[in-house]
């Protein structure tokens, strides 16, 4: 799933379920602290962020439940695939995000992971969970737009 875009970003993986399960309030970019075997595995594209989220621990943001597969060529110094990984943000950004999480009931969900100038970055969304009826409305809207496009294509 390696895509190259015009802006120099090489997308590693996407979290497509996030936009279906959450309303996005804000998007921001964060660095991620990785070990050598983790970055090699990411370069191979063996990453899954579908069920991951970020939490606050000791004034830092930590990425939980992101799966980075073990790198086969790494011998004894291999990593645990579901380790907690520290996210790199400014102190002001961290405090703003922690305040939103505690006060407004938002959560922080990763939407995509990519390389930017050779460094692994992760795009985080400050999001609020959708209710079941919101998900049904989203699906209904998407189906209607698809049917409308088919109808227009047939008539012209």
Surface-to-core class of residue 7, CB atoms within 10 Å of its CB (0-12 exposed, 13-18 middle, 19+ buried): exposed
- Over residues 109-135, the pLDDT tens digits come to 999 999 998 899 999 999 988 888 888
pTM (two decimals): 0.77
Q: What are 35-88's pLDDT values in tens digits?
A: 888 888 888 888 999 999 999 999 899 999 998 888 877 777 777 778 899 999
Domain assignment present for 109:
yes
For 74, the 3-state DSSP assignment is coil
Q: Is residue 155 domain-resident?
A: no
Q: Is residue 80 part of a domain?
A: yes
Burial class (CB in 10 A: 0-12, 13-18, 19+), 108: buried
Q: Could you tell me the CATH number of the domain that includes residue 99? A: 2.40.280.10
> In total, how many domains does the chain have?
1
């Amino acid at each position: 799933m390696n895509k190259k875009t015009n802006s120099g970003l090489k997308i590693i993986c996407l979290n497509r379920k996030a936009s279906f399960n959450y309303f996005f309030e804000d998007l921001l970019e964060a660095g991620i602290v990785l070990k050598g075997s983790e970055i090699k595995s990411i370069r191979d594209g063996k990453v899954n962020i579908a069920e991951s989220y970020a939490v606050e621990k000791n004034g830092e943001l930590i990425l939980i439940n992101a799966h980075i597969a073990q790198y086969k060529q790494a011998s004894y110094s291999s990593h645990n695939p579901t380790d907690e990984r520290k996210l790199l943000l400014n102190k002001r950004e961290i405090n703003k995000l922690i305040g939103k999480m505690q006060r407004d009931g938002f959560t922080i969900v990763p939407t995509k992971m990519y390389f930017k100038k050779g460094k692994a970055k992760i795009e985080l969304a400050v999001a609020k969970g959708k209710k079941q009826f919101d998900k049904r409305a989203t699906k209904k809207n998407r189906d209607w737009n698809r049917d409308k496009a088919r109808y227009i294509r047939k008539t012209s």
